[in-house]
Chains A and B, each alone.
Chain A
Amino acid sequence: MSLISTLARLEAVDSGRAQPLATVRHRHLTGSPLVLVPLTTAGEAGAPLGALVGTDRAAPRLLVVAQPRDRDLRFAFLAELAEAVLPHIEAYADAVEPAERTEVDPETGKKVKVEVELCSDAAQLIVPGRAGIDFVRLLGRSMRFRRTAEDDPDTPYPAPARVPLLGRWLTHYGERARVPGSSLLLAATDLLNRHWATGQSSLEDQHLGALLAWVDPPDGESGAVAALRAELERDRAGQLVCPPAGPATDPAFDNRLLAPAIERYDRARTALAAAEDGLDADTRLGELSDAEREIRSLLAAVMLPTWDAVWRGLDLLRELPEGARAEDRWTRDRWSFTGHRDRVRAGEPPQPRRDDAVTAAQKLASRETAQAQLEAQEALDDPLVLAGRRLAGEAFLGEVTEVEMAYSESKRPSPRPLVTVRTDERPHLGERTKVYRSLDGRPQTAEFVRYAAGSAHAEPGDTVHLVLRITDRMGRSKEPAPGSVPEPGDRIAWTLFEHDQRGGPKLPDPEDTPWTHGGPPGAAVAGGGPAEQPDPVTAEDIL
């Protein structure tokens, strides 16, 4: 944790209110995000219990699995979820704008510009917390390899038509959420934690109710007291007043309310199956739908507070103006969205179970680039974030006091002006350390030359004078382009970190994976190596 966020947390404890960590919103929010509040069944990984989903906060769509262990009901739930989510995604897939992309021409090997479609916006998905993102990933994995009756008429348990497609989209969203700074799939807790520091631990910050209590406490109450209530307060029936944001449910809810309701539903189903005549069946059908309605209302009651909390969080975030460079990152999300749309339309198979060596390395490299870029962009967009970097010695603010013209020692001397900067900060500068400033939205590089006379042994807090040498962005002629060299009196923020990230090297194609990494994927199988087989059934497997 950086020093400035530690300070913000201390202030939050002191004041009883969350303290801002940002002055602008560092994530893009679309006009109509799709909010998904999922619940899962205790004790059975990946068995959905219910969900609230929708883009209208006043009208969430309630989906429920009355008996989570019943595979038919689970498929019906997933089919319904597909009907709620896919039309939202597809609405964005068709609104496109022309764009250019650089591709390598396979014949000439040269880079050429290609005219392509780019979705003019992308569908955004918001879940309450990080566990929700994991659950989206899990749902995606459990659905994308399912076979429908259309894929394979002989499959014993065909999945509803659109379920595998939903699995592919959720997998894409889950994977994209791992890219730093991406906004396709966001957790409300992550969003709030990025912008406010509370006075509780980072583990407690994962509780959406407690987090909101700190950020926006009720009138006249301290955040700490409200957060404690959100975590612990129970009604007379022993139920949490602020139910967990899921997907896991509270054990007290499971044991005292849900389990009896599901049991009643099961009994009603058995009774219906045993009905002897039409009249009897009618009555029992009525009992069954009563039982189902009860489960629906129970689940709605524990999901609605979370649903409202997510929207309230979004309201708070919308009060902050969006950071200037967040749009740029959203454009990359749109490219990602468009790319997946194209792969689906081209009939490509679902994402593989595991990444191959080359894909894994590519993903890691692009995420590292994204992380470094995110950190730089947030600091450039937001003086409060920059203040944190200044406090850490990774940036400094200074006033230019003197500019001395100098030239490089080469056949064609280029301008290398020496700029003296006065600052009372202490950046970690060493000889020839590079520093950057933003000039018309693009970085200009300088290098640290020396401390001006009398500054080397300054006490902390004293003003020091630094001499910097500007090394680029001054044009090609002998005289620097107008406006490209700072002038005395300019107050400039310099950073020790780069503003832009260079992309990594091109990796080999998967079919050229070298011997050090096991050779091309699939080669081991073809060569008689261990093929990927399901684990053999043992006596300990109870199915």
Chain B
Amino acid sequence: MTAVTDPGTAAARATDAILEDTLRGTARGIVVDSPPGAGKSTLVVRAALELASAGRPLMVVAQTNAQVDDLVVRLAEKAPGLPVGRLHSSDSDPYDKVLDGLDNVRKSAKAADLAGLDIVISTAAKWAHVKNVEPWGHAIVDEAYQMRSDALLAVAGLFERALFVGDPGQLDPFSIVGADQWAGLSYDPSASAVSTLLAHNPELPQHRLPVSWRLPASAAPLVSQAFYPYTPFRSGTDHGDRRLSFGVPSDGSGPDRVLDEAAESGWGLLELPARHTPRTDPEAVRAVALVVRRLLDRGGAATSERGPGPVPVTADRVAVGTAHRDQAAAVRAALAELGVTGVAVDTANRLQGREFDVTVVLHPLSGRPDATAFHLETGRLCVLASRHRHACVVVCREGVADLLDEHPSTEPVQLGVTVKFPDGWEANHAVLAHLAEHRVHWAP
């Protein structure tokens, strides 16, 4: 294959190869690795539609109800007449009310009611309860790297062949109890579905989407180098294709200066004085809230390849990412105090798969006296640093680089477990080194 310079062409070639394998290949499984914002959902929708139009009914497995509903809506946009089944739980409010407005979507808590539809979509948890049905010929498993091996075990009997799509750089699935006893076994139930699948079927074709359409040209090289060192990808847009500007000039405060830096370069680090703090560091939390407040007050506007003119950056285009739930709750409270509503504030786990114009991140290691495996986890930082289309502002206490040097990763080595590269320690250093070039000191 000749080198492709145009990102659109490169992405199209990769997609064609995946669809070729899916529709005409003989392998029982196909694995697609997708970096952040590389058009994973678009691929899932397209593969589903092509399979359905080839007269091959299929099931789609996603991980959360929000992901399922999102896929149903996207399918309906592309093919309004196609019969789609939404299998849901029997809880109250099991699906997004938007689905009630779609004529082609049939919703039921029983798989039998949806028999014969071209596409049936549900969560892995719901599929696991489906019994005594004729297996589907095809399945698409979305976010397969976030699915646990035991969840795949529960649903794999429902299909003959499957396309597994996911992002290997995001957070690994976890269990709330120790699972060391099975570490190193090919079917370790706490490992990701893809690692079990490939351990047992190493011959399966594996593809990769090469272009991130979400990440701007300022972010793709860093995220690619820091988190995907052996499977590089690039940005679909170039420097200058995207611009972030403000209607109100800077007032010279820390939050304003860091916003200007981020608008200019795509990254901004607001560094507070070094200090050991509780997890919900009041100063850092307030700094995060202030940055968001100023971003909205100053009339941020984003220009991108999507439209001719600048689009206002409204609250729903902004997100705050944290490591812990109590931190998210503290930021929400601080934002409410400043009168800001509508901004998504959540942990890395819950921001996975979502996209915003600007993100503000409370650094997982900020103010900590130690660096545990949880805080060093590569996927956590990767999720937090790859949700934005325009700019990312990180709020952090000084001294994280020293903290990292004092806490090299010391996880026990488990025999038979594939070592993941890069480790969180190295990825954290890479990101910090880059952020240091966009640093704004501020003592609130």
| A residues in contact (CB < 8 Å) with B | 3, 178, 180, 354-358, 360-361, 363-365, 367-368, 370-372, 392-393, 426, 428, 432, 456-457, 471, 504-508, 512-519
Contacts and interface: CB of A to CB of B under 8 A. Distances in A.
Task: Classify chain B: how many residues form its interface, as a range.
Answer: 35 or more
A428 B332 CA distance: 10
A82 to B, nearest CB: 25
A385 to B, nearest CB: 17
A368 B177 CA distance: 6
A518 B128 contact: no
Interface stretch (B67-75, B152-160, B246-254, B302-310): B152-160
Contacts of B149: 361, 517
Given A358-B153, A428-B326, A457-B337, A515 B92 contact: no
Contacts of B325: 428
Contact of A355 (B29, B177, B182): B182
B176 A368 contact: yes
Contact of A354 (B125, B176, B177, B185): B185
A515 B28 contact: yes
Contact of B156 (A360, A363, A505, A517): A517
Contacts of B28: 515
B181 interface: yes
A3 B324 CA distance: 14
Interface stretch (B12-20, B195-203, B291-299, B360-368): B195-203
Contacts of A354: 185
By Cβ-Cβ distance, the 6 closest A-B pairs, closest first, are: A514-B156, A505-B128, A361-B150, A357-B187, A361-B189, A518-B200
Contacts of A357: 153, 187, 189
B275 interface: no
Interface string B191-228: 00100110111000000000000000000000000000
B182 A360 contact: yes
Contact of A516 (B92, B156, B177, B336): B156
Contacts of B200: 515-519
A514 B141 CA distance: 15
B393 to A, nearest CB: 24
A513 B149 CA distance: 12
Contact of B175 (A368, A392, A513, A518): A368
B244 to A, nearest CB: 29
A448 to B, nearest CB: 14
A73 B72 CA distance: 69
B153 A507 contact: yes
A393 B196 contact: no
B91 to A, nearest CB: 10
Nearest to B328: A428
Interface in B105-160: 125, 128-129, 131, 149-150, 152-154, 156-157
Given A372-B176, A393-B329, A515-B201, A364 B189 contact: yes
Contacts of A365: 150, 189
Contacts of B175: 364, 368
B326 A504 contact: no
19 contacts: A178-B178, A356-B187, A361-B189, A364-B150, A370-B177, A392-B326, A393-B329, A428-B325, A428-B329, A505-B125, A505-B129, A508-B153, A508-B157, A514-B153, A514-B157, A515-B200, A516-B193, A517-B196, A518-B199
Contact of B185 (A360, A392, A519): A360
A3 B326 CA distance: 11
Contacts of B190: 364
B179 interface: yes
Given A355-B181, A358-B153, 9 more contacts: A178-B177, A364-B177, A364-B182, A505-B129, A505-B154, A507-B154, A513-B153, A515-B200, A517-B149
Contacts of B177: 178, 180, 364, 367-368, 370-371
B104 interface: no
* Interface hub of B93, B129, B153, B329 (most chain A Cβ within 10 A): B153
A358 B156 CA distance: 12
B188 interface: yes
Interface in B323-346: 325-326, 329, 333, 336-337
A517 B199 CA distance: 8
Instruction: State the majority secondary structure of interface residues on A.
Output: loop
Contact of A360 (B154, B189, B326, B337): B189
B64 interface: no
A303 to B, nearest CB: 29
B186 interface: yes
Contacts of B154: 361, 504-505, 507-508
Contact of B201 (A471, A505, A516): A516
Given A393-B326, A507-B154, A517-B149, A360 B187 contact: yes
Contacts of A506: 131
A515 B150 contact: no
Nearest to B186: A518
A418 B409 CA distance: 51
Interface string B239-279: 00000000000000000000000000000000000000010
Contact of B152 (A178, A355, A372, A516): A516
A2 to B, nearest CB: 10
A516 B196 contact: yes
Contacts of A363: 189
Contacts of A426: 333
Contact of A457 (B92, B196, B336): B336
Nearest to A460: B333
* Interface hub of A370, A471, A507, A516 (most chain B Cβ within 10 A): A516
B176 A517 contact: no
A340 B326 CA distance: 43
Contacts of B193: 516
A361 B154 CA distance: 9
Nearest to A366: B177
Interface string B419-437: 0000000000000000000
A95 to B, nearest CB: 32
B136 to A, nearest CB: 13
A392 B182 CA distance: 32
A291 B131 CA distance: 68
A428 B187 CA distance: 37
B92 A471 contact: yes
A432 B93 CA distance: 10
A283 to B, nearest CB: 53
A365 to B, nearest CB: 7
Contacts of A512: 157
A361 B152 CA distance: 10
Contacts of A471: 92
Contacts of B153: 357-358, 361, 507-508, 513-514, 516-517
A100 to B, nearest CB: 24
A3 B330 CA distance: 15
Nearest to A355: B182
Contacts of A360: 150, 182, 185, 187-189
A342 to B, nearest CB: 24
Contacts of A3: 278
Contacts of B199: 518
Nearest to B128: A505
B151 to A, nearest CB: 9
Nearest to B28: A515
B228 to A, nearest CB: 25
Nearest to A175: B181
A356 B422 CA distance: 31
Nearest to A179: B177
Contacts of B178: 178
* Interface hub of A180, A360, A372 (most chain B Cβ within 10 A): A360
A365 B157 CA distance: 18
B176 A515 contact: no
A516 B29 contact: yes
Nearest to A512: B157
Contact of B176 (A361, A371, A504, A518): A371
B422 to A, nearest CB: 28
A259 to B, nearest CB: 31
A367 B325 CA distance: 23
